[in-house]
Each structure stands twice: as structure tokens, then as C-alpha cells.
Amino acid sequence: EIVLTQSPTTMAASPGEKITITCSASSSISSNYLHWYQQKPGFSPKLLIYRTSNLASGVPARFSGSGSGTSYSLTIGTMEAEDVATYYCQQGSSIIFTFGSGTKLEIK
Amino acid sequence: DVQLQESGPGLVKPSQTVSLTCTVTGISITTGNYRWSWIRQFPGNKLEWIGYIYYSGTITYNPSLTSRTTITRDTSKNQFFLEMNSLTAEDTATYYCAREGGWSYYFDYWGQGTTLTVSS
């Protein structure tokens, strides 16, 4: 099973601030199989970025993703209040799909 | 538009069996190349993939749950189901059904979730 470790666990950002969340895999993953989700309180997860860097439909351009091998990241170019959520990475590389433990993003 | 809706009993007792239903609208679950998954989220927010049923009917389970999990479907009702037995308090979670959107194995549509509490 591929374990995904996210950091930080929790963070707070000011409006307009650039933020980066990292996702580290226990084994190398093709970038085609690393995805990100956004979950707002009380809602189900929503696909944010697929295949490392492709924005899902309707996702604002301030979101971006990058990475390869065992190291991936999600970046919000300019923090907005509506970005308050928990973010999860997910891998589809192995037969057991796994998720990271999540990064809770709050606003200062 | 693709929509998924879970339903279930809400509360079950330890050692019992639960059956959850996912009703899909906007697309047939037999449409090619999609996988229809069950995923659960524990209190504390950890997400665990349970298994999926492929459009062809092929089923794959998370090996950690395969001994007490069964996924089936009713194509006439466009529904798929999760049955889990020998429940314990550790199975208390919100259960989601989701569509897996193709060869990269990402989940592009999710239901709103159904909460299952296992308690006597």
C-alpha cells in the first residue's frame, strides 16, 4: 500500500497569501495517478486537480499542482476566504487507492 | 448531470450486517470505462477506499476489507450496493459512493454521503 503523507496538517493564511501543500508518497508514483480534492465543512470531497496538474471543471486558475516521483504539491496563488477547506491528495497508482491524511486550511 | 445519492439505515448494532445503496442518475452505471466506488470517511476525517464495481460488473476490493465486504449492482434501477458484515464501532463513518473517471483512477463525482453509526 502506498502511504501519502501531507504537510502541514493545519495551516492558516491571510487573504492574498500564496500557500503550498505538499504530498509525499512512500513509493514513486507516475504523475498520471496523483490527484487532489477539496472538502469544505459539511460537504463531500470535490475533485480539484487530476493527473498532478490538470484543473477540474470550474476550478479557479489560482489553484495549481506540480510534482513527480514521490513529491507533489498543491499551490493556491492568492488565498481567498472561499478556499477554507481540507485538502487531500490521492493516488491511483497501486491496486489499493489511498488518500493523504489531509491539510486543513484556515484563514487568518 | 451525473448525480449520486447514498442511502442507508443510519444506526446498526455491533456484529450486524449493513447494506448501503447508491442511486445514480444522469448516466448508466454500465456506460463504458467507469468504475463505481465506495469510500468511507472516519471521524477525524481519514478517507479509505473500500472497493469498486466496473461498468462490466468486475469488482475489486480493498484487501483489508475484502473478507467482509460485498459490492453488487442492479442495472435495471441504476443502483449499486455495499454490504458489510461483522460490524464494529470502528466501522462508524460517513460512506460515500463516487464515480471513478477513467484510466487515471480519480473520483470526479461524489454523493453527499450517508452516516453509519455502529453502536449498541
Phi/psi class of residue B103: alpha, beta or left (left: φ > 0; alpha: ψ in -120 to 50)?
Answer: alpha
Of the pLDDT bands very low, low, confident and very high (cuts 50, 70, 90), residue B32 is confident
Contact (CB<8Å) B49/A45: no
Contact (CB<8Å) A86/B48: no
Sign of CA dihedral B115, B107, A84, A106: positive
At residue A104, the pLDDT reads 98
At residue B101, the pLDDT reads 80
| DSSP-assigned beta bridge partners for residue B17 | none
Q: Which residue of B has its CA nearest to A32?
A: B104
Query: Which distant-in-sequence residues (6+ apart) come within 8 Å of B34 by Cβ?
Result: B27, B54, B55, B99, B100, B101, B102
Average pLDDT of chain B to the nearest whole number = 96
pLDDT tens readout for residues B52-72: 999 999 999 999 999 999 999
Residues of B in contact with A45 (CB under 8 A): 47, 96, 107, 110
pLDDT tens readout for residues A8-54: 999 999 999 999 999 999 999 999 999 999 999 999 999 999 999 99
Contact (CB<8Å) A44/B112: yes
Distance from B111 to chain A by nearest Cα, in Å? 7
Q: Which residue of B has its CA nearest to A36?
A: B106
Percent of chain B with pLDDT over 70: 100
Distance from A64 to chain B by nearest Cα, in Å? 17
For residue B106, give the nearest of A86, A90, A102 by CB distance. A90
- Tell whether the model's pLDDT for residue B11 goes beyond 80: yes
Contact (CB<8Å) A35/B106: yes
Under DSSP, the state recorded for A81 is: G
With cell 487515471, the residue in question is: B104
At residue A46, the pLDDT reads 98
Dihedral (Cα; B27, A51, A98, B43), 10-degree rounding: -70
Of the pLDDT bands very low, low, confident and very high (cuts 50, 70, 90), residue B102 is confident
* Interface probe with A: pick from B104, B109, B114, B115, most Cβ of A within 10 Å: B104
- Tell whether the model's pLDDT for residue A95 goes beyond 90: no
Of the pLDDT bands very low, low, confident and very high (cuts 50, 70, 90), residue B103 is confident
At residue B105, the pLDDT reads 93
Contact (CB<8Å) A101/B105: no
pLDDT tens readout for residues B75-101: 999 999 999 999 999 999 999 999 998
